[in-house]
Amino acid sequence: MSETIKILIVEDAPADAEICEREVRKALGSCRFQLVETRQQYLSALSEFQPDVILSDYSMPGFDGMSALKLALEYSPETPFIIVTGSVSEDVAAGCMKAGAWDYIIKEHIKRLGPAVVNAMEKRQTLLTKRKAEEEREVAYKALDKALNDSITAMSKIVEMRDPYTSGHQTRVADLSAAIAGELKLPVEHVKYIRIAALIHDIGKIYIPSDILSKPGKLRDMEMQLIRIHAQGSYDILINIEFPWPIAKIAWQHHERLDGSGYPNGLTGDHILLEAKIIAVADVVEAMSSYRPYRPALGIEKALEEISQNRGILYDPAVVDACLKLFSTNGYKLEG
């Protein structure tokens, strides 16, 4: 062990403190010790001496071991705390351990103190190493999450470059989809991946000629068929990316409808993912509310009327209800 190890002894009997020092030196070699017996001395030592291990008597006239333990857990929770006492019942010993003590030593078995301190130091090092690894994993996770979000944003921008007339559409759909998911009380992680799916649900539009995407006036049947391939195109692109969520299937199904009238697969009811049902409603509301090359904006009232009239027919009832509540009760507004 390093000779810089610092041992704080909470003890009102100097002779007993000397015995503790002797036993610890046998196990660790040269150490630094500090003896305290009052609460104020103890608090000062925690902040200034910053011990590696705390040895505390259980029963003292002015400052007891349980009080010392509570303060240690508050100010220095990673510091091993060992009760060293003349006598203690099994119930008291169990209470000390339950309260957070690392070990307890009966003074008549003081030779156990050295090995107990060594064991506590090793356990502390293991905990610190584990915590450091967890912190490094957290940093790596945040970096990976940022890279994922940056990649998703870049993919979304690609669609906007191909279809400038719907610039911001995916972002607005993503915001509304996340709000609906939140209103449905879905878990935070669930809401997160619904937002991601919505941000890139139209990525398949890169397969569609830009002159069709920006064509004013009504589209011909063949042009409409080309437009409809974007859902399949989104799936074909996204299925090759190993997302931890079913992003490709969600994008694939965002134009499916409950009654089977949607595309590309004519799915019905429960065969459609909930996430796709959410994005479907958000997509319709945003699209109808916004300007398109082939028509002026119809407005939010018309959009909400559409999903209300087709509640349970084309659109999931719970999703529709959540969306309507956002606008009617919560004051939600489409931005941009």
More confident residue, 145 or 267: 267
Write down the catalytic residue from 98, 185, 205, 302: 205
The answer to whether the CB of 156 falls within 8 A of the CB of 200 is: yes
| Residue 123 token pair | 């356990």
- Is 205 in the active site? yes
Question: What is the pLDDT at residue 166?
Answer: 63
Question: What is the pLDDT at residue 242?
Answer: 87
Q: Is the pLDDT confidence value at 160 over 80?
A: no
Closest CA to 213 of 196, 235, 233, 199: 233
Closest CA to 62 of 6, 13, 15, 7: 13
Neighbours of 224 (CB within 10 A): 11
* Residue for token pair 């003896």: 35
Model pLDDT for residues 226-238, shown as the tens digit of each residue: 888 899 999 999 9
Note the pTM of the prediction, 2 decimals. Answer: 0.62
Beta bridge partners of 150: none
Q: Is the pLDDT confidence value at 248 over 50?
A: yes
Model pLDDT for residues 41-76, shown as the tens digit of each residue: 999 999 999 999 999 988 777 788 889 999 999 998
Q: Is the pLDDT confidence value at 208 over 80?
A: yes
Question: What is the pLDDT at residue 324?
Answer: 97
Question: What is the pLDDT at residue 164?
Answer: 64
Model pLDDT for residues 318-327, shown as the tens digit of each residue: 999 999 999 9
Which of the residue ranges 49-53, 83-87, 177-181, 261-265 would you say has the lowest mean pLDDT?
83-87
Q: Is the pLDDT confidence value at 260 over 80?
A: yes
CA distance 247 to 257: 18
Using 50, 70 and 90 to split pLDDT, how confident is the model at 140?
confident
Question: What is the pLDDT at residue 1?
Answer: 43
Write phi, then psi, for 140 (nearest 5 degrees).
-65, -40
Q: Which domains occur in the chain, in start order?
A: 6-133 (3.40.50.2300), 163-328 (1.10.3210.10)
User: How far out from the chain centre does Cα 200 lie?
Assistant: 22
The secondary structure of residue 150, as a DSSP letter, is: H
List the strands of the sheet with 6-10, edge to edge: 32-36, 6-10, 53-56, 81-85, 103-106
Amino acid at 138: E
CA distance 131 to 135: 6
Question: What is the pLDDT at residue 181?
Answer: 97
CA distance 178 to 334: 12
Question: What is the pLDDT at residue 158?
Answer: 76
Using 50, 70 and 90 to split pLDDT, how confident is the model at 219?
confident
